[in-house]
Structures are given as C-alpha cells and as structure tokens.
Chains A and B, each alone.
Chain A
C-alpha cells in the first residue's frame, strides 16, 4: 500500500540552530503535503503545507520544500527555540486514493 516514510524519529538541536525533517512518499498522485506539530497532550496543529505545483514555501522561521521527481519533501525550522520542542508529522494526500497517509513522526528537542 501507499506509505510515507519520515526521518529522523528523534532530533535534538541546540537553541538557535536549524532543524530539518525529511519525508518520502510513494504515491506519485499525491498533491498536497501538510506538516503538523503536536505538543504533549494535545491534538496535532497545522504549521505549514505545500501543494504539488509549488517547490518551496516559507512562513517566518518555517519552510517546506518539495521535490516531486524524487517524491520527497522536507520541513526546515531555523533559529529554533525551546517552544519548538514537539512531535512533528508530515502527511501526503493521494489524489488517486483520496486519503491521507501520515509519517511516523519526529520528536524534536530544542536544548536551551
């Protein structure tokens, strides 16, 4: 079946450094890629998304890049802060399957 692989599963960075999380999808018909942040005890919250007709999107310290040929997309967080510590999930919407597949999550720890 279709799947989304996410790496790394855990990531520790020093405050102020950058963090990069990568996802690879298998369904070539996927055309929408959201990233969610989940804090402890809460539901996931959308932080940024990208559609297949765009290669990169930025929102302040957060950016997402998409390589359709290689079928992978990445989340970039610059100037990390302790409040960025959370679990991050990538997801892909399959235009052929009409369903969302989520990555397995990355636990990001920003060390003060």
Chain B
C-alpha cells in the first residue's frame, strides 16, 4: 500500500478564499483522523471518522471548518473562509482500530496570507 495520501502538499491562499484539503486513507482502515499542527498549539485532533461517520468533531475550531468522508477511500477538510490564523500543517491519519497505530500522511502545509 502507498500509505496515507494527502493533497496538495503545499497550499498558499489569500484570506477569505475557500481551501479544500484531501486525504486517501490506507485501504481497510476503518478510522480516519484529521489533525492540525502549529508551533503554538502543537498537534491537535480536529475530527475523526469511523466507517465514514464522524464520531467526534469537538476539535474543529470554528464553523468555518468542515470535514466529510463520502466513502471509505476519500475525505476532505474544508475551510471557508480561510484566515491567516489557519496557517498550519494539516495531517490526515488512518488506523484499523481507534486504539492502535495511526498511519500519518505527509501533511499539507497551508499558508493563508
């Protein structure tokens, strides 16, 4: 398997624009996690899915953030409208069990100017 795939790897956008980050989990993994990493706040869990169903989204910072998982092989994290404070590295991870090894993707570095 190619591992968790994220796209784009880098995204630069202007404040107010919509941003969509994409993730393809490892086949057969039932859990998918979205994280945000910044120097100030470290690694934060934003939301996670089990069998395509959102289980906990309490980490989503604001209504500007939304995540979907339309099928077992694809998930998106959308920010609309984006703000400079959203600049961070966003990671997607997948696992077979909720308490088990999570396989992280390479991340998307988002810069909002």
Contacts and interface: CB of A to CB of B under 8 A. Distances in A.
Contact residues on A (Cβ < 8 Å of other chain), bracket: 20 to 34
Contacts of B55: 98
A100 B45 contact: yes
B102 interface: yes
B105 interface: yes
Dominant SS at the A interface?
Answer: strand
A13 B102 CA distance: 28
B71 interface: no
A32 B99 contact: yes
Interface in A69-99: 89, 93, 98-99
Nearest to A47: B101
A99 B42 contact: no
A25 interface: no
Contact size range, B: 20 to 34
A43 B102 CA distance: 11
B111 to A, nearest CB: 15
Contacts, number: 46
A94 B98 CA distance: 11
Contacts of A42: 106-107
B42 A104 contact: yes
B84 interface: no
A99 B104 contact: no
B8 interface: no
Given A32-B99, A93-B98, A99-B59, A43 B42 contact: no
Interface of A: 31-32, 34, 41-46, 49, 51, 89, 93, 98-105
18 contacts: A34-B102, A41-B106, A43-B4, A43-B105, A43-B106, A44-B43, A44-B91, A44-B104, A45-B104, A51-B99, A93-B98, A93-B99, A98-B98, A99-B56, A99-B59, A102-B45, A105-B42, A105-B43
Interface of B: 4, 33, 42-45, 48, 55-56, 58-59, 91, 93, 98-99, 101-102, 104-107
